[in-house]
Every structure is written in C-alpha cells, then in structure tokens.
Structure 1
C-alpha cells in the first residue's frame, strides 16, 4: 500500500514538474541548479518564503497605519467618526438583510403602518444601517496611504533592480506580473497574476517579469495619492493626480506593455527559441492582463473625461457615507424611474463609475 501511494505521488510530482512542459528543448532543471554570471538561480522552495513575508508585511502595515498614517490623517483634519449605530429593530433588520437595502415608496409605507413609524424615520434607519457597514474616512485614508507608500517603494526598487541588472532575456528569463471592479474580473486577474508570479520565478523568467511589475506599479501609487487627496478634501489636487494617473496608466498598459513587453514575449521569443507548452500558458496569461488593461483604461478615461468636463472626479461609493439629502434624492428617484436626466441620476452614475474603479486594488 505504501509503495503504491509513493509511486502515485512520484508520478504526480513528475507530471507537475515535467521539463518538456515548463522548459524549452535542450533545457533541463539541472541547468538551473548552478549560478549564472554571479547570480544564483531561483529555487522552487523559495516560494515558501512568501508566507512569513506576508505575515511580516501585514505586521509592518498595522504599525504604519497606527503610528504614521493615522497621525497624518488627523493632521489634515480627518477624524475618526467611529462606527455608525442604528436603533435595534428586528423587522427592519430582516428587511435589510433578506429583502432590500433600498426600500421603495410602497414598502416604506407598509413598514410605516406596521411599526407606527414615520416614513422619514424609516428612511433614516436604512441610511444609518447602510453606513454602519462602511468604513469611515480615517480608515480609508490609512489604507490608501499604506498602499501609496508600498507601491512607490516597490516601484523604486524595481527600477533599481532593472538599472543594476546585467541579465538579458534568454531561454531561462521571461515574465511575471503584479496584480492591478467587478469581483469576477478581479478574480480572473488575481488568478492570472499569481500564476505568472509563481511559475515565472520558478523558471527563472525574471527580466520581463520585473518590467511588467514596474509598469503596473508606475501608476498604482498615483491612484492612491489621488485617493488621499480626495479623502483630505483637496479636490483640485485629487483631480490633477487622477488625470496624471490616467495618462500614466494608459501609456504603460496600452503603450509600453503591448508594444514592448508582449512584442518580446510573443514574437521575439518565438524567433529565438520557439514555442513550448508553458510558453503558451505564460503568454495566454499575459494576454488576459492586456484585455483587463483595455477594460480598465476605458473606465479610467470615462472618469477622467468627466473630471475635465465637470471639474470633479467621481466619488468612491465603496464607502462614502450617505447624507440626508442623498436619501431624499433616492426617494425621489423611486417615484420617477425615468428621471435619468436629473442631477441625482448623474451623481449616481458617477458614483458607480468611481466606486468601480476606486475598488480596483
């Protein structure tokens, strides 16, 4: 029994690490055992280091947000408003959880008769209950400041690596990527990038991978800077940073990435070493990223265009706190569904677009 299990595991291990799948012809795993021009090749076991590194980065992030980001937020006038509380009510809570978070006029009137509450009071209860699930501005500011610092440091480190690196792209050096809002799209994005990062590192496909990471990080910290300005209510600075972010995003994701990186991995590599099984896998994942880049660039250009025309970037409705006036507008919109030309309708479209993109992280 033990021999059969060991044999099965051996076959599975051999299939997972088949040289004919992962490596070009005339290249074996043994070729990656020795040093290359003074550099040690990556090892598959190095991937295990991501777990303690992730724990360490999480610990550093907690310290950063508490002792650096939070004091900075208070310095620019952002205070901790604390969690939003609502008056406990089992009937309204059941409606909120199982039926709707935005009751229409008919349902509001029914609840008013059932509870003997004013419709206005029920509207306020639902508004406060929705706000209860949203993080305060102080939390969002601290999160964005951490991401801004992290992305900027990683970008600078990647540039330094590329500047000092003496490696050239060959049969052992290629690509990986860094993740950059719909759950399904982000799920596909994360699967693609995790696969690229893991297997490109194991195969020592480092050079192009570092280029891809730098291209992604070049715009990430600008987005976080725009969000910081937004939370601090520096609207003009927010608009300026977002437009700059959009320009950098489009230039790197629709310019440099396809015409430089993909051109190398698809066409130049084909001429140099020809395709092999994992070549199709890696380039397929890179092409998936390019499709996502096109989708996101379209959304960004829409937001940036509206910012230039209307003078204000769309809100982050992922966690904005609703006001009483917003509640009244929602009630009005339920009475006239075709009122898409009203100012409230425009704001809700902007909020949805803004929230879709602000959540892209």
Structure 2
C-alpha cells in the first residue's frame, strides 16, 4: 500500500521540476498552500448541501410552484391487469413484437391497446411537473449564487485582469479563505449531485451524467492538488455563466410561460456559445497552454491538465452546434421541443392531449434525432449542462 501511495503521489508527475512536496509545506504561520487532504472536507459539506436542498425544495420551491399553479397531479393510470403487470415488473417495460403478439392472444386484446397500456404504465413511474420544477429551482438557485460569488471573488483578484498572474511564482501561491471556499463549495456541490442522482428524476442519460459528475469532481480535485487554483477559478466561472439560464428556462416551461422559456433558452444558447467557444479558448486555454509554457514550462501533470481542458473544448464545440440547432428551431417554430428524457410518452391520437401539454420542459441536449419506438422521429433531449464542466 505504501508503494502504491508513493507511486501515485510521485513528485515528478505532480510538480514542476526541482519542486517537492516538502517545499509546499506551510512556510510560516498564516501562510498555507493547498493540500490533497483539503478535498476530503468537501464530502461532509456535500451532505450538508444535500440536506439544504431537501429543505429548500419542501419549504421554498414547492410554495413557489403552487403560486405558479404547478400541481403534483399524477399521470393517467393504466387499467389494472395482473398479467401485464407481471410482464412489466419482471420481464420488460418495452415488449417486442413477438411478446406483444403473445400477450394479444392471451388477453384477447389488440396490440395497440397493449402498447397503450405499457405506455401509460411507464408514465405512472415518471415524476410530476411539481417534482421537476422543485429540482430545477434548486439548481437555478445554487448556480446563480455560485456564479455571482465567483464573479465577485474574481473581480478582486489580479489574475482576472492579467492571466499571467496564474503562473507567476507557481506553485508557491498561497491559499486564501475566499479561494478555498469557492473551490470546496463547487466540489461539494458536484459530490451532492452524485448523491442525489440516485434519488432525482431518472433520465435516459443517467450513466452519462454519472460519468460527467465524476469527471468534474476529478478535474476540480486534480487542479486543487497541484495548486492550479487560480486558473481553475477562471474555468469554473466560465462554465457557471450559462447554467442558471438553462434551469430558468426549464422552470418557465413547467409554469407554462412558453415565450419566456424560449427567450431564456435563446439567451442560454448565446451565453453558452459565447463563453465556451469564445472566452474559454481565447482566454483560459491561451493561458494554460501558452502563457504557462513560457513562465513555468511543461511537466507531466501539466500535460494531463491541458489534455483534459482540450477534450472539454471539443465537447463544447459539439454541444454548441446542437444547442444552436435547437435554438434555431425554437425561433423558427415559436417554441422549444419537448424533453423526451422524462416526459410523458405518447404515439397515438388518443394520447395527443398529453403530448401537447405546454408545460413540458424545453429541449437542450445532445443526442441526434432518432426513431422512436413507434417509428416516429424522436427529439433532441434536454441535457446536463453543469456544470459542465
């Protein structure tokens, strides 16, 4: 175990040439450098954030939802049927053609009726608009708060105005209380998302979001350990700039303010593209790739850090293309398509009233249009922008 620890914390990987962990020990009282153990403090804070979220959704978000006339109304209930219920719970929620034919003969029902039963039964397990509104309001509140805090903090720092300050005297850059709070709070929030993902609305991109949260936690922790906090704050602030607009658009849609939803989504698209394709590469990547090379020179963890940031930029390009495509459709059609990750399914004329419920959330995700289970075109879906980180 000691050998594994020594290998993992190899100074030649983590630190610039001729720098050791001993050099980063606190040189004098009142002066502190980031330490790997600090990131562990994010875990109890994450539990605290999760608890605050529960209280917030119950005592603040729910009353706001009721004021907006968003009710916890349930979905249409499927007709009780023991045989179909057993298939649904024990075998499959999406029966194929052969199984549908067998069930049709066994129950003397036509296949369309059985398909409708499974669709209604699946919808019964999906959350109400009230639940989704409360989740979005919590995320909106946190994203707005952390973005405002980040801007206020960075306005007081020299590296906001001169990014070369991120590398002067590196890695001997002291850890201030504000810098520690900003970093650990962001890290704790993403840990809380990891915890709550298992109790939140279950969506089709559950695994993608799980990997996303893990990658975000890893990148924040990585930059903390090797004291790249200054440039890390720039990365976090750039990524936080658009998240609250996305959640605001979703809230507006749940509350049936479709025009407001469309405007917020278009605003989100503009901010997302401006920050991820403009500010991020021209400002952040410029300093991490070129200014840092000139001032401190490359070393192993420097290469890995920049590789991760470049991968993130590739994702920004892909996401921006898809977001702009959705925004264009929103402007040309007058509304944004529905979110097929968590909304009510429907493929028949009988269920048309459910599909066209104007409270459905806006679409903002990244999956290309695919064929639905009934052969109709699917929709791009509302995604996880966090972050994103």
| Pair in the same fold by TM > 0.5 | yes
**Are residue 15 (structure 1) and residue 4 (structure 2) matched?**
no
Q: 1:94 to 1:294 in 2, by over 3 A?
A: farther
**Are residue 320 (structure 1) and residue 343 (structure 2) matched?**
yes
Report 1:261-276 matches (<5 A).
Answer: 261-276=284-299
Offset at 1:284?
A: 1.1
Q: 1:186 to 1:300 in 2, by over 3 A?
A: same
Q: Secondary structure at the match of 1:27?
A: coil
Q: Secondary structure at the match of 2:109?
A: coil
Q: 1:59 to 1:91 in 2, by over 3 A?
A: same
Q: Report what 2:166 is aligned to.
A: 169
Q: Report what 1:150 is aligned to.
A: 142
Q: Report what 2:36 is aligned to.
A: 44
Distance, in Å, in 2 between the alignment partners of 1:75 and 1:36 is 55
Offset at 1:316?
A: 1.2
Offset at 1:358?
A: 3.2
Q: Report what 1:358 is aligned to.
A: 383
Offset at 1:297?
A: 0.9
Q: 1:201 to 1:84 in 2, by over 3 A?
A: farther
- The match for 1:114 among 98, 106, 113 is 106
Q: 1:185 to 1:124 in 2, by over 3 A?
A: closer
Stretches of structure 2 that go unaligned for 5 or more consecutive residues are 160-164, 174-178, 194-203, 353-369
- The match for 1:229 among 245, 252, 256 is 252
Q: 1:324 to 1:290 in 2, by over 3 A?
A: closer
The worse-fitting range, judged by mean Cα deviation, of 221-230 and 308-317 is 308-317
How many residues align? The count is 334
- The match for 2:300 among 277, 281, 286 is 277
Offset at 1:111?
A: 2.6
Q: Secondary structure at the match of 2:116?
A: helix
Q: Report what 1:196 is aligned to.
A: 219
Distance, in Å, in 1 between the alignment partners of 2:250 and 2:43 is 29
Q: Report what 1:63 is aligned to.
A: 55
Offset at 1:314?
A: 1.4
Distance, in Å, in 2 between the alignment partners of 1:228 and 1:149 is 11
Q: 1:103 to 1:79 in 2, by over 3 A?
A: farther
Stretches of structure 1 that go unaligned for 5 or more consecutive residues are 1-8, 330-339
**Mapped contact 1:24–1:276 kept (Cα < 8 A):** yes
CA RMSD of aligned residues (A): 3.1
Q: Secondary structure at the match of 2:150?
A: helix
**Mapped contact 1:127–1:327 kept (Cα < 8 A):** no
- The match for 1:208 among 231, 237, 261 is 231
Report 1:306-317 matches (<5 A).
Answer: 306-317=329-340
**Mapped contact 2:243–2:385 kept (Cα < 8 A):** no
Q: Secondary structure at the match of 1:315?
A: coil
Structure 1 or 2: more helix by fraction: 1
Distance, in Å, in 2 between the alignment partners of 1:323 and 1:195 is 39
Q: Report what 1:332 is aligned to.
A: none
Offset at 1:274?
A: 1.2
Question: Deviations 1:185-214 (Å, cap 9, x if unpaired)?
Answer: 545543432222112112221111011111
Distance, in Å, in 2 between the alignment partners of 1:311 and 1:345 is 25
Greater Rg over alpha carbons, structure: 1
**Mapped contact 2:209–2:384 kept (Cα < 8 A):** no
Question: Deviations 1:276-305 (Å, cap 9, x if unpaired)?
Answer: 011111111111211111121111011101
Distance, in Å, in 1 between the alignment partners of 2:28 and 2:233 is 18
**Mapped contact 1:192–1:288 kept (Cα < 8 A):** no
The worse-fitting range, judged by mean Cα deviation, of 202-211 and 192-201 is 192-201
Question: Deviations 1:85-121 (Å, cap 9, x if unpaired)?
Answer: 44443432454463552655x7655433311335554
Q: Report what 2:314 is aligned to.
A: 291
Q: 1:15 to 1:103 in 2, by over 3 A?
A: closer
Offset at 1:65?
A: 0.3
Distance, in Å, in 2 between the alignment partners of 1:190 and 1:245 is 21
Q: Report what 2:46 is aligned to.
A: 54
Question: Deviations 1:53-92 (Å, cap 9, x if unpaired)?
Answer: 0110000000000000011111111101147644443432
**Are residue 243 (structure 1) and residue 283 (structure 2) matched?**
no
Distance, in Å, in 2 between the alignment partners of 1:112 and 1:270 is 69
TM-score, length-normalised on structure 2? Answer: 0.77
